[in-house]
Structure 1
């Protein structure tokens, strides 16, 4: 257990995760004057339009990192707080057939947007992109801030606190199209099972070789594409905080 001595009192390193989707309050404990914050928006869903073609997978939620340590990726410095202060926290919700909701700490200055909805003949952008589609090929969604098959990832790691040893979040969803007709395309990789997006769970009768899409894994995971006429829901986001405070 990591500890820090401050005068006659002892501080401890705390890590707290907020999940599932909803609004929370956090009261800053005694001795805490700054906090590292990692935000993951909710994953994008998948929308159905039978006249337009093949669906791709929804994008995983975007991520934002605010921390004191400069190792790895960060979007800004640790956030200054005051002991006793009440902080409002929002964890974004996955929505069926729509973009994911944003996750936020304190104010809109510290916000990660949700992943993008996947439409037909397209695939969702996000923290990591959804799976691309095509008549003769399928591709794997980005698992670590990348995109695939025409989709666009955020371009930096989706790992907790932007650090190389952090767990991966917010994998994009899989397409419902399968080039071989026997094996469903795979979503990007995440190290969490909580917060994953929905898959279609059905085969399409619209064309030979289409099969059920898979939801992306992890917090803010994108939804799987759906070729059978139903919209799917992206996974919920999360907010992760890390701070030093006095033990109670």
Structure 2
């Protein structure tokens, strides 16, 4: 007979981190992520009233594209989602981290359940008063028959309605938009296009107005080794830089899979 194998015991949960250790871990993760993004920032911490940790990001080299002070953006929301995913692992006490651009974010508003409506109070109703019988009516002679009016001629069928005009496209082509040139934006767009071509990297500029996307597309015309186009619809529309010869991302630029890698 073969020896029976005893099932292994589940791993013990990790001990809860102290507030100082939790802040140090958040600061380490945010510093590494913002460094890889190319937007280093000074971090300001404050304990929120709902138990979460509020962090203000004071960018040292200017705000990223689409980020404004004191307002929510896709960049900050994505960074907050990624950070909480890395912090909330099995066996670790959960504590949410809220991020704000330039200012401390407000704590989450928890909606309270509405109070139940009071039950209706039964009201005793008075007994119905008996109605008197209706008076007798005198007999009325039936009306004389009336000749039916002549039927009018059948109207001709209406002409079919003209077809509705074609629905406008959700997004106009930015290359056809006439805008004034922005020298600073044009220089930054050309530098990003040359970087995508030389390194073989994919880049995208999101949360931009249609006029700014048009300025970027016109500024990068003629840059060799990279294709630039507008993709998406509505708020998700962005300018994408696609290199002609993509290159794999070096391992040292990838985010670590285990928190122990941050200790090195």
Larger RCO (CA under 8 A, 6+ residues apart): 1
Larger radius of gyration: 2
Class of the TM-score when normalised by the shorter of the 2 chains: under 0.3
More helix per residue: 2
- TM-score normalised by the chain length of structure 1: 0.22
More strand per residue: 1
- TM-score normalised by the chain length of structure 2: 0.21
